[in-house]
Amino acid sequence: MSYLEATNDLYKQAALTPDVGLCCTTNPVWQLPGLSIPVVMQEMNYGCGSTVSASDLVNEPKVLYVGVGGGMELLQFAYFSRQVGGVTGVDVVDEMLEACKKNFRIAEKENSWFKSEFVNLLKGDALNLPIESESVDVAAQNCLFNIFKTEDLKKAVAEMYRVLKPRGRLVMSDPVCEQPMNDALRNDDRLRAQCLSGSIPIKEYVKVLTDAGFGTIEIRARKSYRVLSPNHYPTEELIHIESIEIAAIKDPMPDDGPCVFTGKTAIYFGGEPYFDDTKGHVLLQNQPLAVCDKTAAALAELSDEIHISESTWHYDGGGCC
């Protein structure tokens, strides 16, 4: 059985019987006016963060969500979109699509604004999406792509890039890991499918996105996720896994490379009213400007009267590019 078949098998079981400990997130259950998330959707929350952000969802975007799980994030996207077919969910596992559909009927009873037709559920594979090119404004996936091995991950990202309109955005949450993992962990299909042993360092994850052509990257959150300890897993050292929330925007690639925002800020403290790098970045005296890592490095080279803060890993808009 290939690791992809093992993954399908695991999520077939997780569709038939909700597995509360699988994946799991520290994000609170959403409390928004008129929104009720059915308990079964919470039990089937197999994500590791959130991909739904109101600021991505202006102007009635067409949303695509790959790897539907129990449907919780589809319901959250539909909360903002509220139009028939405004959100499309794709999953390769029949049982998961069926469970999601069933959960929508429960959601209809708890949410007077919600209709199942707001979400179009489709059988399909992240590696070969049944979606027209350049037809989507916001594409999302939560805790699926970390499962994929390198070549499949590249394929899945290329598929998302293909279906997005120019300037469209890919929003994701995935586990990441800065420590090396041994082959016993990497080659354990079940641990991989459980989102425990496929994760890669943030820098590599970002590179897959920028290599696919995304010109702007935003790291929106970074949180502790799990540990793999020697007493429970085949490892001699404790491995710490984190999860990130990240957006990749289909902006044209700048000539000098992608803009990757990790939450750095530049503040000019020299004697002039402002500092102008003549490349579009004007720093007013003692005013913060959110900058991408590339600009942060360039500004630090240009002047020793600019304070560059560390990455907060919590970029939420604004800034330089």
Ligand X SMILES: C[S@@+](CC[C@H](N)C(=O)[O-])C[C@H]1O[C@@H](n2cnc3c(N)ncnc32)[C@H](O)[C@@H]1O
DSSP states along 206-225: HHHHHHTT--EEEEEEEEEE
What is the rounded (10 degree) CA torsion for 283, 259, 58, 47? Answer: -130
The residue among 66 and 139 lying less far from ligand X, judged by its C-beta, is: 66
**Contacting ligand X (CB under 6 A), which of 46, 205, 275, 315?**
46
Please choose, from the candidates 191, 68, 173, 50, the residue with its C-alpha nearest in 3D space to the C-alpha of residue 120.
Answer: 68
Cα distance between residue 72 and residue 100, in whole Å:
9
Helix (H, G, I), strand (E, B) or coil at 32: coil
Please choose, from the candidates 192, 194, 168, the residue with its C-alpha nearest in 3D space to the C-alpha of residue 181.
Answer: 192
The reply to whether 144 sits near ligand X by the rule CB under 6 A is yes
The one-character DSSP state at 140 is: E
Residues 238-267 that bind ligand X (CB under 6 A): none
- Give the sign of the dihedral formed by CA 158, CA 163, CA 169, CA 173: negative
Phi, psi at 312, each rounded to 5°: -90, -15
The residue among 48 and 306 lying less far from ligand X, judged by its C-beta, is: 48
The reply to whether 63 sits near ligand X by the rule CB under 6 A is no
Residues 79-118 that bind ligand X (CB under 6 A): 90-93, 96
* Total residues in contact with ligand X, by rule CB under 6 A: 23
The reply to whether 67 sits near ligand X by the rule CB under 6 A is yes
The residue among 91 and 189 lying less far from ligand X, judged by its C-beta, is: 91
The reply to whether 289 sits near ligand X by the rule CB under 6 A is no
**Contacting ligand X (CB under 6 A), which of 107, 139, 143, 321?**
143
The reply to whether 185 sits near ligand X by the rule CB under 6 A is no
**Contacting ligand X (CB under 6 A), which of 19, 43, 125, 178?**
125
Give min distance, CB of 161 to ligand X, in A: 16
The residue among 118 and 268 lying less far from ligand X, judged by its C-beta, is: 118
Give min distance, CB of 200 to ligand X, in A: 16
Cα distance between residue 2 and residue 181, in whole Å:
20
Give min distance, CB of 216 to ligand X, in A: 23
Cα distance between residue 174 and residue 46, in whole Å:
11
The residue among 90 and 299 lying less far from ligand X, judged by its C-beta, is: 90
The reply to whether 142 sits near ligand X by the rule CB under 6 A is yes
Cα distance between residue 287 and residue 296, in whole Å:
15
In the complex, which residues of this chain contact ligand X (CB under 6 A)? 7, 11, 23, 45-47, 66-69, 73, 90-93, 96, 125-127, 142-144, 195
